[in-house]
Amino acid sequence: MIIELGAFCLALALALSIVQAVAAGWGWRGGAALQGAGRGAALGAFAATAGAAAALVWAFLASDFSVAAVAANSHTEKPLLYRVAGTWGNHEGSMLLWCLMLTGYGAAVAVYGRGLPEALRTLVVAVQGALGSLFLLFTVATSNPLARLALAPVEGRGLNPVLQDPALAAHPPFLYAGYVGFSVVFSFAVAGLIQGRVDAAWARWVRPWTLWSFSLLTVGITLGAFWAYYELGWGGWWFWDPVENASLLPWMAGAALLHSAVVTEKRGALAGWTVFLALCAFSFAMLGAFLVRSGVLTSVHAFAVDPARGALLLAILGLAAGAGFTLFAWRARTLAPGGVFAPVSREGSIVLNNLFVSAAAAAVVLGTLYPLMVEAATGRPISVGPPYFNLTFAPIMAAAMLILPLGPLLAWKRGDALGALQRLWLAAALAVGAGLLAAATVAPGRALAAGGAALGVWLVAGTVLEALERVRLFRAPWAEVRRRAAGLPTGAWGTTLAHLGLGVFVFGACLEAAGKQEAVGVLAPEGVLKLGGYELALERVTGTEGPNYLAERAEVRASRKGREVCTAYPERRLYPVSRQTTSEVALCGSGPGDLYLVLGERRPGPDGRPAGWLLRAYHNPFAKLIFVGPLLIALGGLVSLSDRRLRLAVPAPRRAPVLEPAE
């Protein structure tokens, strides 16, 4: 009965989303009754979708194997966390999560958008309803997560073992909250184009939604990279997989949009560019949904291999994005050009930075889609891997990052480039020193890696110096410094945190890639494997049992120069239900680096020696910074979101007083 009620809720959500789109779209010019009906339908659609999601969660918790999604992705022995995560660990459940987020954001605009002009608010609700209708129709018609089986099995097939991980359990909700959050930005862009009004007030309303979506997407991508790092056992964290690229594209569009929206708000300029980026952000998110579910990819990230459903998702992408960009092409000329600024100014630095980011995104799009298009057209698979992206994406983004510390030191409208550079001389000196030190120690002979380390220090030092300039540290009395620091808006501190996080990430990623060391050996108990300056001693291997797996667990003691560093416990697990074997990575070590250990299968010893276990080990210097940096970026976005200025209306421009003529 609960499943049938959930299926009814899903169909009801579709009907209410259609009502939301039609009523709000029809009444945006002033029909109060229709506007209210549209907002009410938005709340109802979210409540109905939440009811369907609750029914699916109940089915997984109760192990109701008469539901096809539960039978295919759960098992009675699966731990509770992964039963819940199983609701979105498959194509059907993940689409329901997408729809839940989409209707939830529509309801949030209806409830919390009271400060918006009524016409704009109603149009945004209407566009959200139209998007919700498309995705709910797809879910109901082709991907019903509550579909019943004619003959229910006694047991389910269980969730893929590599997906049974806490980081991956949280990865899709954060990722989708970011992906689908950009739907609100998309709706604001369409609404602004319909009204022909994209101004400072519009940009201020767009920024909080962009900050929220960008921050959550950053967390989602970071969790996915961390899962790939310690769960898949290959020693890396990013492989330029097409689905990884698809998650990066909306993130890049969101980063550019944040900066562009500031210019539109502060100076009334770049309105067309801001709208274009808003359309791109959600279009890239929909592209990611298509790639994961279309069957065009064979990937650990792929949910489905059904070309028919992929074609429907491609049609949704074409309809939604096509309508948005067609409207943009038609209405862009009506947007006000905004304030004029010199090339050397804060606006100019943001424009240049955004051009570099857009070029980097274009390189990612080309490298991701070109192989798929060639294979579809010719049937001949081609591969575009890390070398392509290292030669295209990396240099373009490096140029963007070189400019980044300069922008905040330039004045609006017209700036002094020489003065800004003079204030950054210490950052430049620290960056050069860091690059030389990295070239001599971590990455000898690798100029590009040393340059990356210098770039990371340039970002960090430049950001810190810019913050010190704001409070006039060492240039004003301490009382004034404290007053200035307390008076800075939280948005400024959020920007500082985000830029710091980017520098930390760049520094860690470049030195981790350059300084990685690897060693492989077959070890019997008390055997030793040498890795750089470390000695890894295999103490013992014991059998253990988990909630739904059997495992061999090794105890490895790591020492350096005779001093014990840490003890690690890598595992090799067998899941009887799926008959799959996985390797559970062990991470240990002090400081910013990791010792990364993977236990392999048991093998006969060489030269008649006792049998041992294959042990693969990596030393990844500065690896922790790769994940700390993005979390600082996300924290910076959330701190900026707390800025009270985003909740205040943009003041109307002052008019000069009219003086009465003297009599």
What does the pLDDT read at residue 304? 55
Q: What is the dihedral of CA 457, 463, 469, 470, to 10 degrees?
A: -160
Q: How confident is the model at residue 336 (pLDDT cuts 50, 70, 90)?
A: low
What does the pLDDT read at residue 442? 78
What does the pLDDT read at residue 610? 65
What does the pLDDT read at residue 649? 53
- CB-CB neighbours of 422 under 10 Å: 10
CB 541 within 8 A of CB 521: no
In the numeric block, which tokens belong to residue 552?
Answer: 């061999």
Above 70 in pLDDT, residue 650? no
Q: Collect all residues with Cβ–Cβ distance below 8 Å to 608 and sequence separation of at least 6.
A: none
Determine the Cα–Cα distance for residues 402 and 412; give it in Å rounded to an integer. Answer: 19
What does the pLDDT read at residue 350? 94
**Using alpha carbons only, what angle is made at residue 19 by residues 15 and 23, rounded to the nearest 5 degrees?**
175
Q: How confident is the model at residue 655 (pLDDT cuts 50, 70, 90)?
A: very low
What does the pLDDT read at residue 297? 59
pLDDT tens per residue across span 468-521: 999 888 888 888 989 988 888 999 999 999 999 999 999 999 999 888 999 999
Determine the Cα–Cα distance for residues 9 and 16; give it in Å rounded to an integer. Answer: 10
Of the ranges 91-95, 184-188, 468-472, which is most confident? 184-188
What does the pLDDT read at residue 659? 35
What does the pLDDT read at residue 295? 62
pLDDT tens per residue across span 134-185: 999 999 999 999 999 999 998 888 878 888 889 888 999 999 999 999 999 9
Per-residue burial over 287-316, b = 16 or more CB atoms within 10 Å of its CB, e = otherwise: bbbbbbbbbbbeeebbbbebeebbebbbeb
What does the pLDDT read at residue 384? 84
- Looking at per-residue pLDDT, the higher value among 17 and 335 belongs to 17
Above 90 in pLDDT, residue 590? no
Above 60 in pLDDT, residue 391? yes
What does the pLDDT read at residue 609? 63
What does the pLDDT read at residue 579? 85
From 135, 198, 161, 149, select the one nearest 82 (Cα to Cα). Answer: 161
Above 50 in pLDDT, residue 656? no
Determine the Cα–Cα distance for residues 60 and 69; give it in Å rounded to an integer. Answer: 9
Helix, strand, coil shares of the chain, percent, nearest 5, are 65, 10, 25
From 126, 364, 177, select the one nearest 252 (Cα to Cα). Answer: 364
Provide the mean pLDDT of the chain.
90
What does the pLDDT read at residue 640? 95
Q: How confident is the model at residue 663 (pLDDT cuts 50, 70, 90)?
A: very low
Q: How confident is the model at residue 657 (pLDDT cuts 50, 70, 90)?
A: very low
From 41, 14, 15, select the one nearest 27 (Cα to Cα). Answer: 41
Above 70 in pLDDT, residue 401? yes
Phi then psi for 585, rounded to 5 degrees? -70, 145
pLDDT tens per residue across span 408-466: 999 999 999 999 999 999 999 999 999 999 988 877 768 888 999 999 999 999 999 99
Above 90 in pLDDT, residue 375? no
- What percent of the chain shows pLDDT beyond 70? 94
Determine the Cα–Cα distance for residues 136 and 109; give it in Å rounded to an integer. Answer: 19
What does the pLDDT read at residue 568? 95
What does the pLDDT read at residue 607? 63
What does the pLDDT average to over 51-57? 98
CATH architecture, domain 1-164: Up-down Bundle (1.20)
Q: What is the 3-state secondary structure of 463-523?
A: HHHHHHHHHCCCCCCHHHHHHHHHHCCHHHHHHHHHHHHHHHHHHHHHHHHHHCEEEEEEE
In the numeric block, which tokens belong to residue 329?
Answer: 């092409």
Tokens 């008959």 belong to which residue? Answer: 579
What does the pLDDT average to over 254-261? 96
What does the pLDDT read at residue 9? 98
CB 203 within 8 A of CB 268: no
CB 511 within 8 A of CB 624: no
Q: Return the domain boundaries, the chain.
A: 1-164, 196-316+343-411, 424-513+625-629, 517-620
Helix (H, G, I), strand (E, B), or coil: what is residue 516?
A: coil
pLDDT tens per residue across span 543-566: 999 888 999 999 999 999 889 999
